[in-house]
Amino acid sequence: MALENSNRSTTPDLQQVSDPARRTVLRLSAGAAAAALYGPWLAGCAHPGAAPRLGFAPVPPSRADTVVVPAGYVAEVIAPWGEPVGVPGAMPPWRPDASHSAAEQALQFGMHHDALQYLPLDGSRRGLLVMNHEYVDDGLLHPDGRANWSAEKVRKAQAAHGLSVSEVVLNAGAWQLVRPSPYARRFTADTPFVLGGPAAGHRLMQTAADPAGRSVRGTLNNCANGLTPWGTVLSGEENWAGYFDGGEVINEDQRRWGLRARGWSRWAEHDTRFDTRQHPNEFHRFGWVVEVDPADPTSTPVKRTALGRAAHEGAWVAVTKDGRAVVYSGEDAAFEYIYKFVSRDRIAAAGGGLSAAQANRTLLDHGTLYVARFDADGSGTWLPLVHGQGPLTPANGFADAGEVAIKTRQAADRLGATPMDRPEWLAIDPHSGSVYCTLTNNSARGSPGRPAVDAANPRANNSMGHVIRWREAGDFDATHFRWDHLVLAGDPANTRVEARGNVKGDAFGSPDGLVFDPRGLLWLQTDASSSTMHSGEYERLGNNQMLACDVATGEIRRFLTGPVGCEVTGAAFTPDARTVFVNIQHPGETPGDLSDPAAPTRHSRWPDGAAATRPRSATVVIRRRDGGYIGS
C-alpha cells in the first residue's frame, strides 16, 4: 500500500500569541494552523531537501550511565528536577538532599520529565519549554523516602506532578534557562482547572468540594502532549486510576478503569479526595486531555471532556481543509483503543483583542469523538461515540452525552473497537498526512482469556511493540481509512522468532515517543524495561534510546542512547531544525524500585555525577557543532 505519495496541504491562517510581559504581539511560528504543526518550512525557516535526510553515523547500543550522541553533536543538560522554573521572586534552589518543601517543589521543575514542546517567542533563538512531569519516585523525592509517610509528603508528591512552563534562550551557541521569566509557571495536582465539554457540570462530576461539577483541583500522570495551531498545549492524563484507593468494594465501572483496593500513591491516607469510598465522583474528574495556554500565565487550564476519558497518552492535532481541528489520541493500556475527535467549528483567527488561544477557548468542547476499528483487509472505520446512536442508550447505562464521555472506554467496548497493543504517541506526517502510532508492547496478547492476535496487532506475547500508520480516506475528518505497519520492532539476533521484527537498520524495542521534525524525519524513542521483555532481550538492546526513521525508505538509525535505567521521551525541535530538546526520564529506575519501602537503591548518578546522592530526570538539549540540521 502506497502511503507516502500524496501531499496534503492545509489552509494557513495567521495565528498570534499575545506576550503578557511586553504587551506586544508575537508570532507563534509564523502562520498557520499548519505552520505550528506542519513545519516551519512553511515559514521559510528550514530548507528541506538541502541536506541528506539521514546523515549521521549511528551510535551503538550502550550500557553507560550517560547520554551518547553521534560524532559532531553536543548534548547538554538543562532543567533537571528540583531546579526553580523561574517564577519571579520565588526561586527556591535545588538541594542535593532533596530537603525542599512541598511549597518549594511547586515552584521547581517536577519529577519524571515526559513529553515537551518548544513554543517560539523569537523563532529558534528564544522560546518556551512546556513539559509534563508524569509521576514521582517517592524514594528519591523525600530525604527519607517513603518512611514517616505524612501529609507533607503527599503534598510534595502532588507538587512534583503536572506540567512546567519555562523560558529558554540560545546564547553564544548554548541554551540556557531564562530566570526569572514572566511565563514561568507550574501546574500541579493542586492547580485549579475548569471542565469543558459534555461532562462539565454532569451529576457524575459533582463532589462535596465542587457541587457544580465544573472545577477540578489538579492534573495527574501527564504523559505525552501536542501543540495546537492556536498556540496551546494538550496534555494527556495517563495512569491516573492508580492514585486512588477503592477499598473493599469496587464496582463494575471502577473495575473497568483499573481501580484497586490500594493504589500505588498512598495519597488517600492523607488526602481523602483520593479515597473513592468517600468521594466516588472525584475518580471521574481525571482521565482527560487538559489544555493549557503557556503564553498567558494568568489563564485557567481546562479539562476537555469532549475528547473522551481514557488513560490518555497524549493528544495530537491535525487540521481539515476547511479549518476544523482533528485531535488524535490513544490510551496506553493493554487492549485499549485509538480515538479521534473532529471539532464542530473551524479554528478561529486571533483578533478583536483576543489571542488565538482565547479565540478558540471553546473549540474543543463541541464535536464528535470516534474510536478506531482496524479490519483484516487493511481498511479501517472510525466508529462515532454519539449518545443515542447504536448501543449508546440509557438502557445500556449512557444517560446522556456526558455519561458517554465519562464512560468512554465502556462506550468503545460496545461499538466493537479494536483492542490495541498499548497505543502510545501519535505523529502526523506533514508531507503525506499519514498518521503514525506507536504500540509499545503487550505481553498479554494471545494469552489464555485475552484477545488473540489480529491483523493490526499481529504478534502474540508482543514484547517488542510495533508502529502502525494509516491514511484517512479523504480529509482528516473521514470515517474510513487504510492502514499498514511502518515496522515491527525487534532484534534480528533474538532467539525468539516472534521478537525479531523487521527493522531496516538499528534494533530497538518498545517504541513510545514519536515525533516528526521540521524536515520530515520521524523520530522514535523507546521505553523498554526488563519487566516487559524476556530474559536477555532488554540487555542486548542496551539503555533506552532515540532513533531516526526516513519514512520514505523505512530505514531506522540509532541517534542517542540514554543513561542507565532511564526512558528517553519527548523531542521538541526548534523551527530551524537545528536544536532538539529531549527528556531523560527516571534515570536509575529498575523494576521493583518504586515499591521498595526502604531507602532508594538506584543504579544511576546521572546527570550530576558520581558524587550525587540521587539521579534526576532532566532535559537534554542537542545541537550540531557545525550548526547543521539535526539528523542530516
CB distance 226 to 315 below 8 Å: yes
Out of 527, 537, 550, 576, the only residue in the binding site for Ca ion (CB under 5 A) is 527
Span from 175-183, 367-375, 565-573, 591-599 in contact with Ca ion (CB under 5 A):
565-573
568 touches, from ligand FEO, Ca ion, none (C-beta below 5 to 8 Å by class): none
Would you say 223 or 499 has its CB closer to ligand FEO? 223
Would you say 313 or 477 has its CB closer to ligand FEO? 313
Q: How far is the CB of 111 from ligand FEO (least distance, A)?
A: 13
Residue listed under C-alpha cell 465501572 = 253
Asked if 65 touches Ca ion (CB under 5 A), the answer is: no
Out of 13, 65, 104, 134, the only residue in the binding site for ligand FEO (CB under 6 A) is 134
Q: Which of 222, 317, 336 is nearest to 569 (CA)?
A: 222
CB distance 491 to 481 below 8 Å: no
Would you say 28 or 234 has its CB closer to ligand FEO? 234
Q: Which amino acid is at 628?
A: G
Q: Which of 626, 505, 525 is nearest to 572 (CA)?
A: 525
Q: How far is the CB of 7 from ligand FEO (least distance, A)?
A: 32
Q: How far is the CB of 547 from ligand FEO (least distance, A)?
A: 17
Compose the 201-230 pattern: x for residues touching ligand FEO by CB under 6 A, - for all others. ----------------------x-------
- Strand (E) positions, 435-476? 435-439, 466-472
Residue listed under C-alpha cell 532532566 = 618
Residue listed under C-alpha cell 458517554 = 404
End-to-end CA distance of the chain: 27
Spatial distance between the Cα atoms of 561 and 579, rounded to a whole number of angstroms: 17
Spatial distance between the Cα atoms of 392 and 112, rounded to a whole number of angstroms: 38
Q: How far is the CB of 567 from ligand FEO (least distance, A)?
A: 8
Asked if 134 touches Ca ion (CB under 5 A), the answer is: no
Sign of CA dihedral 21, 24, 25, 29: negative
Asked if 237 touches ligand FEO (CB under 6 A), the answer is: no
Spatial distance between the Cα atoms of 38 and 352, rounded to a whole number of angstroms: 26
Near ligand FEO in 314-333, by CB under 6 A? 332
Sign of CA dihedral 118, 123, 124, 126: negative
Would you say 526 or 561 has its CB closer to ligand FEO? 526
Q: Give SS3 for 8.
A: coil
Sign of CA dihedral 450, 456, 459, 465: negative
237 touches, from Ca ion, ligand FEO, none (C-beta below 5 to 8 Å by class): none
Out of 167, 238, 282, 537, the only residue in the binding site for ligand FEO (CB under 6 A) is 238
Q: How far is the CB of 512 from ligand FEO (least distance, A)?
A: 6
227 touches, from ligand FEO, Ca ion, none (C-beta below 5 to 8 Å by class): none
Q: How far is the CB of 385 from Ca ion (least distance, A)?
A: 24
Asked if 313 touches ligand FEO (CB under 6 A), the answer is: yes
Out of 237, 336, 424, 477, the only residue in the binding site for ligand FEO (CB under 6 A) is 424
Asked if 291 touches ligand FEO (CB under 6 A), the answer is: no
Degrees to nearest 5, angle at CA 69 with 65 and 70: 140
Compose the 395-434 pattern: x for residues touching Ca ion by CB under 5 A, - for all others. -----------------------------x----------
Would you say 195 or 572 has its CB closer to Ca ion? 572
Compose the 439-468 pattern: x for residues touching Ca ion by CB under 5 A, - for all others. ------------------------------
567 touches, from Ca ion, ligand FEO, none (C-beta below 5 to 8 Å by class): Ca ion
Would you say 210 or 593 has its CB closer to Ca ion? 593
Span from 189-197, 318-326, 413-421, 525-533 in contact with Ca ion (CB under 5 A):
525-533
Q: How many residues are there in the chain? A: 632
Compose the 496-535 pattern: x for residues touching ligand FEO by CB under 6 A, - for all others. ----------------x-----------------------
Would you say 134 or 403 has its CB closer to ligand FEO? 134
Would you say 115 or 356 has its CB closer to ligand FEO? 115
Would you say 10 or 543 has its CB closer to ligand FEO? 543
Q: How far is the CB of 314 from Ca ion (least distance, A)?
A: 8
Cell digits of residue 39: 513545519
Cell digits of residue 408: 468512554
Would you say 271 or 313 has its CB closer to ligand FEO? 313
Spatial distance between the Cα atoms of 520 and 524, rounded to a whole number of angstroms: 13
Residue listed under C-alpha cell 528541506 = 48
Spatial distance between the Cα atoms of 218 and 83, rounded to a whole number of angstroms: 21
238 touches, from ligand FEO, Ca ion, none (C-beta below 5 to 8 Å by class): ligand FEO
For the beta carbon of residue 601, count every other beta carbon within 10 angstroms: 11
With CB under 6 A as the rule, give the number of residues binding ligand FEO.
7
Strands 185-187 and 174-178: unpaired
Q: Which of 78, 279, 126, 105 is nearest to 189 (CA)?
A: 105
Q: How far is the CB of 218 from ligand FEO (least distance, A)?
A: 17
Q: How far is the CB of 72 from Ca ion (least distance, A)?
A: 29
Degrees to nearest 5, angle at CA 551 with 548 and 556: 35
365 touches, from Ca ion, ligand FEO, none (C-beta below 5 to 8 Å by class): none
**DSSP 8-class letter at 245:** B
Asked if 567 touches Ca ion (CB under 5 A), the answer is: yes
Would you say 313 or 403 has its CB closer to ligand FEO? 313
Sign of CA dihedral 21, 22, 24, 29: negative
Would you say 477 or 567 has its CB closer to Ca ion? 567
Cell digits of residue 370: 470516534
Q: How far is the CB of 339 from Ca ion (least distance, A)?
A: 16
Asked if 167 touches ligand FEO (CB under 6 A), the answer is: no
- Strand (E) positions, 32-95? 73-78
Spatial distance between the Cα atoms of 39 and 434, rounded to a whole number of angstroms: 15
Out of 13, 275, 291, 512, the only residue in the binding site for Ca ion (CB under 5 A) is 512
Q: Give SS3 for 486.
A: strand
Q: What DSSP string runs through 291-359?
A: EE-TT-TTPPPEEEGGG--S-B---EEEE-TTSEEEEEEEB-SEEE-EEEEEEEEEPPPPBTTB-HHHH
Q: Give SS3 for 179.
A: coil
For the beta carbon of residue 237, count every other beta carbon within 10 angstroms: 26
Asked if 589 touches ligand FEO (CB under 6 A), the answer is: no
Residues that bind Ca ion in the complex, under the rule CB under 5 A: 424, 512, 527, 567
Residues that bind ligand FEO in the complex, under the rule CB under 6 A: 134, 223, 238, 313, 332, 424, 512
